[in-house]
Structure 1
Amino acid sequence: MPADTSDYEAELDAIFETLAELAPEIRASLPGRRVKSDEVNPSGETRLEADAYADELIEEALGGIDGVGTYASEEQAEPIDVGSGEVSVACDPLDGSSNIKPNSPMGTIIAVYEGDLPAGGDRLLASGFVLFGPILTMTVARDGEVYEANVGDGEIDVIDDDVTLPDEPTVYGMGGRVPDWTPGFSAFIRAIEQEYKLRYGGAMVADVNQVITYGGIFSYPALKSAENGKLRLQFEGIPIAYIIESAGGASSDGTQSILDVDPEKFHQRVPVHLGNDEMIDRLEATLAAHD
């Protein structure tokens, strides 16, 4: 279970209000920062200028909030001390930034933890993501509930205060190359592709939002070449798993909830499966049958 938020309400309010304020500025900065920089992030990926700009902007803004002691980013090698507070913020400044080139959706993911990093789901206080789509929205999970807000004007305008996954799943999306899938995951996709509609755009927040909207499953699985997949536990796995579980769905690394995965290192990767309970149960059963 995620951590008790009662002692951190002021910090959480300030963090998500600040993220809403930053969202229009980040979006407005994208057209002029579509080119690659000369830098490589800790995961070995070439950074776009937009990645660096968003990271610096968010670090400065969130690091200035009273109560925030640490800022951590997928774009930086180690957590940064920004204050004396007890809250740590972990951020993927631009999830799916490669989508800038084709002008496709992307977003920002944020996770707020109690104490130092790395941290597991039991120390998560809240999480959320901004989606840079046709509408600029922010989805937040806090105290076991999920809300969606329009943040196009920099303020939180709640448009749904009880976000839940639809009962009947209709879509699926999955990452990784087909030849690199494990036999179990390949079998699962073959079984569901005749029943559901494929929705995959290359930005986790956009693909997960399809699942939140229509029901279904999103996966970035364990691969033959990478047994822990691609996505990072601190920045993507835990925060998005909490959103999905708080919205009535389930998460899995293939055998257990992502919120139960033990953090061993800062940039740890984890297989990610998110969606309706029955879809996750079906996935785990299929993977187990092919072990």
Structure 2
Amino acid sequence: MTDSDPRADGGPADSTVAAVFDAVAATAPEIRAALPGRRVESGTENASGESVLAGDLYADELLGEAITAVDGVGSFVSEEREDAVDAGGAVGSGPDDAYAVAIDPLDGSSNLRSNNAMGTVVGIYDAPLPASGRDLVAAGYVLYGPITTMVVADDAGVREEVVERAPDGGGVERSVVEADLRLPETPTVYGFGGRVPDWPADFRAYARSIEDELKLRYGGAMVGDVNQVLTYGGVFAYPALRSAPEGKLRLQFEANPIAYIIERAGGASSDGTGSILDVEPEAVHQRVPLYVGNEALIERLEAAVGDD
């Protein structure tokens, strides 16, 4: 339990959801404090074949232990693990069933070397994984920026908290800085991933039109880039690429949770043809193109690339 409980300000009524985010918040200062000594390669690859830093493994270990200890969590899986961990209890949508939790422990960990923003992404599903985004009951992310913040989306809406160690060192303090976070109506920023030569021609044309209207904000960590869009309005995209038509981001760990957050905040998401939350789940480490932001910008995107 945190020293200051944001649930008093309209947070999640579900005790398991609340406990998961309590666990995530409790690990955030530990993860952040451990990063300076874990900027090196671990010598291993994750389930997607990507090189893993020591920071990735440490964050995964801490979060795995904390989340699987939560009563009501039936399974846990992360970007760094091939398979789900059985935490006890059948996962499903019944009143007595447990939840499945999927995380990206350290999104943007390649930014460790350059000391840029990183984060943790969390999705809580009431169905066995792989699951549809429509099976999410809550999602959130921690952003390790100049300050540590946590954005949580659930049936009550979207809120932003500051997370920091308690002065006495006995836990963490969480203070709500925005109880009803909404995407600004007037878009300001954009951030697009992938190499420009690798963009399909239709997305490149869309990007050129956006460049004439909005300010570029791209830092190489999805959490940080999406947080810019959530704060200022705009659009974030990691498109289908010529070399990777299926996209780069993982549906369960990254795309579904971020799409859920943005849609709960009044924005829209897409895989190029429709909401990310409607993408049919096929595998735990499935990849997908991701476009999120103000609804009008996503509608323009779908008009530009939807016939691929």
TM-score (norm 1): 0.95
**What does 1:130-279 align with in structure 2 at a 5 Å threshold?**
130-143=142-155, 145-153=157-165, 154-279=172-297
Q: Secondary structure at the match of 2:287?
A: coil
Q: Secondary structure at the match of 2:100?
A: strand
Q: Secondary structure at the match of 1:140?
A: strand
Partners of 1:264 and 1:37 in 2: how far apart?
Answer: 29
Which amino acid in 2 is paired with 1:31?
P
Partners of 2:264 and 2:174 in 1: how far apart?
Answer: 20
Which amino acid in 2 is paired with 1:194?
D
Residue by residue over 1:200-248, the C-alpha shift from the partner in whole angstroms, topping out at 9 and shown as x without a partner, is 0000000000001110000000011111110000000000000000000
Q: What value does the CA root-mean-square deviation take over the aligned residues?
A: 1.2
Instruction: Report percent identity of matched pairs.
Output: 58
Runs of 4+, deviation exceeding 6 Å: none
1:89 pairs with 2:94: no
- How far off is 1:157 after superposition? 1.1
Which amino acid in 1 is paired with 2:32?
R
1:282 pairs with 2:300: yes
Structure 2 unaligned segments of length 5 or more: list them: 1-11, 91-97, 166-171
Residue by residue over 1:128-155, the C-alpha shift from the partner in whole angstroms, topping out at 9 and shown as x without a partner, is 0000000100000010510000011223
1:9 pairs with 2:27: no
- How far off is 1:194 after superposition? 1.2
Quote the residue 2:55 is aligned against.
50
Partners of 2:173 and 2:135 in 1: how far apart?
Answer: 27
Partners of 2:190 and 2:158 in 1: how far apart?
Answer: 21
Partners of 1:99 and 1:244 in 2: how far apart?
Answer: 23
Partners of 1:261 and 1:46 in 2: how far apart?
Answer: 27
**What does 1:30-109 align with in structure 2 at a 5 Å threshold?**
30-84=35-89, 86-109=98-121
Structure 1 unaligned segments of length 5 or more: list them: 1-6
Aligned pair count?
A: 284
Partners of 1:221 and 1:99 in 2: how far apart?
Answer: 20
TM-score (norm 2): 0.90
Residue by residue over 1:177-201, the C-alpha shift from the partner in whole angstroms, topping out at 9 and shown as x without a partner, is 1111011100101111111101100
- How far off is 1:8 after superposition? 7.8
**What does 1:102-117 align with in structure 2 at a 5 Å threshold?**
102-117=114-129
Partners of 1:222 and 1:182 in 2: how far apart?
Answer: 8
Q: Secondary structure at the match of 1:151?
A: strand
Which amino acid in 2 is paired with 1:37?
S
Partners of 1:88 and 1:234 in 2: how far apart?
Answer: 11
Quote the residue 1:3 is aligned against.
none
Quote the residue 2:9 is aligned against.
none
The 8 Å contact of residues 184 and 288 in structure 1, kept in 2 or not, is answered as: no
Partners of 1:83 and 1:8 in 2: how far apart?
Answer: 22
Q: Secondary structure at the match of 1:44?
A: coil
- How far off is 1:116 after superposition? 1.1
